[in-house]
Structure 1
Amino acid sequence: MARIIDKDEKRCDIALSSIKLFCDKGIQQTSIDEIAKSAGVAKGTIYLYFKNKEEIIFTIWDLIVQQHDILFNQRINPNMSAKEKILEYYDFTQCLGDYDQEQILILFQQFISSLLIDKTNIYSEYFDNFFKLDYDFISTCLQEGVDKGEFFIDDIDTLSHTIIMLLKGSIVKSKASNMSFNDSQLMLTKYISYLLEHCTKEK
């Protein structure tokens, strides 16, 4: 009797099996043939689950984000301050589960690099939605902090966008300086903490 294949599981397996390949070769330089070989399937099988390479990449990131959100929600509690929640949200040392942290850093760097040279808007549209979720979370936390008297902010929108720009900039900086995951995390935490400390004080 033939084994019934779970299509969602197979799709995830193919996507996750290509992480190392993307990290080692880069997104632009990785072919569907190589992805198929890495996943141990025929090239035609790839197209049964994905329309193109971009769908594979975005599936990987969707899975990572889902894992991050699950672990993050397990770690926060109602007694935490808004600042603590934001720093916890961006503490990826605790929010990646079984993923290899160094690989995820490289992968994020690859995603940002692809975004910068994207002429199709495929990456831009995906990451606009991706960072929209970050914006919604940050702005909600900042408003919560204002309502509770923790923060004194005259422009939540600008501060929310600034924190997101900090994340993007730290990814570029970590790539340019060949920083490890831990050093990159420390840098990100340091600058977000500084921003929240000095941009939210009562005048």
Structure 2
Amino acid sequence: MAIIVNKEEKRRNIALSCRALLLEHGIGELTISQIAKTAGVGKGTIYEYFENKEDIVFEIMQTFIVEHEKRLEEISRSEMSTKEKLFHFFYLLFENETARKHLGIYKEFLAISLMQETKAMLDFSEACRERFLFILNNILEAGVRSGELNAQMSGSAGSLVLFATGVIVDSRLKTCDVKQEIDHLLDIIIVKECK
């Protein structure tokens, strides 16, 4: 009797088994041989499920993004003040060692996508941006309703995502204090603090 393999599940399992490998080596140093060995499959099997290394990286990054998005949604739905929600929205990628490792992979992905601008990378970035805009917009709308934010902040999610992207890019500089930059922005946009 033939064994029926769920291709999507197998693909996801291969990618998930390589998460730590990606965090350890980064995108540039990751090889198909390492991926195959870590996943416990042959190199040929890798190519049955993925077109290339970038395809695997996209799959792994998608798991990181889903986890990040879940955490942002939890923050959005929490009882925290708008200021606290916005702080965590912007600081989440810097808050601990695991988050900083994920951020390192994202920076590497961002650098590659800026240089190559392949359709798949642009589509992936656009999809991520849309999901984060949705969550941020919910935080902003709730802040406007509570009076913590000026009504003009309702349409500012895109500008704030650009701020977040800039913080991510500049965080590599010794002169950029991420926490201080976020606090400064929040001091400007919060009109009333709620406890």
2:183 aligned residue: 193
Indicate the SS of the match to 2:60: helix
2:163 aligned residue: 166
1:111–1:6 distance in 2 versus 1, CA, 3 Å: same
Tell me by how many angstroms 1:193 deviates: 2.9
Tell me by how many angstroms 1:53 deviates: 2.5
Q: Please give the per-residue CA displacement for 1:46-68, whole angstroms capped at 9, x wherever unaligned.
A: 12322333331222122122223
Matched, 1:107 2:97: no
Within 5 Å, give how 1:127-166 maps onto structure 2. 127-154=125-152, 156-157=154-155, 159-166=156-163
Of 161, 170, 175, the residue aligned with 2:172 is 175
Separation (CA, whole Å) in 1 of partners of 2:179 and 2:151 = 20
Count of matched residue pairs: 192
Tell me by how many angstroms 1:194 deviates: 1.9
1:88–1:199 distance in 2 versus 1, CA, 3 Å: closer
Tell me by how many angstroms 1:148 deviates: 1.9
Separation (CA, whole Å) in 1 of partners of 2:84 and 2:161 = 16
Within 5 Å, give how 1:20-169 maps onto structure 2. 20-23=20-23, 25-28=25-28, 30-74=30-74, 77=77, 79-92=79-92, 100-154=98-152, 156-157=154-155, 159-169=156-166
Gaps of 5+ in 2: none
Tell me by how many angstroms 1:195 deviates: 1.4
| Higher helix proportion (structure 1 or 2) | 2
Percent identity over paired residues: 29
Kindly indicate whether the alpha-carbon contact (under 8 Å) linking 1:15 and 1:56 is maintained by their aligned counterparts in 2: yes
Kindly indicate whether the alpha-carbon contact (under 8 Å) linking 2:83 and 2:190 is maintained by their aligned counterparts in 1: no
Gaps of 5+ in 1: none
1:138–1:72 distance in 2 versus 1, CA, 3 Å: closer
Q: Please give the per-residue CA displacement for 1:54-108, whole angstroms capped at 9, x wherever unaligned.
A: 3312221221222234445556655322222222334437998xx9344312211
Most deviating of 140-149 and 45-54? 45-54
Kindly indicate whether the alpha-carbon contact (under 8 Å) linking 2:149 and 2:189 is maintained by their aligned counterparts in 1: no
Give TM-score scaled by structure 2 length.
Answer: 0.75
Separation (CA, whole Å) in 1 of partners of 2:8 and 2:95 = 23
Tell me by how many angstroms 1:198 deviates: 0.6
Give TM-score scaled by structure 1 length.
Answer: 0.73
Kindly indicate whether the alpha-carbon contact (under 8 Å) linking 1:85 and 1:141 is maintained by their aligned counterparts in 2: yes
Indicate the SS of the match to 1:79: coil
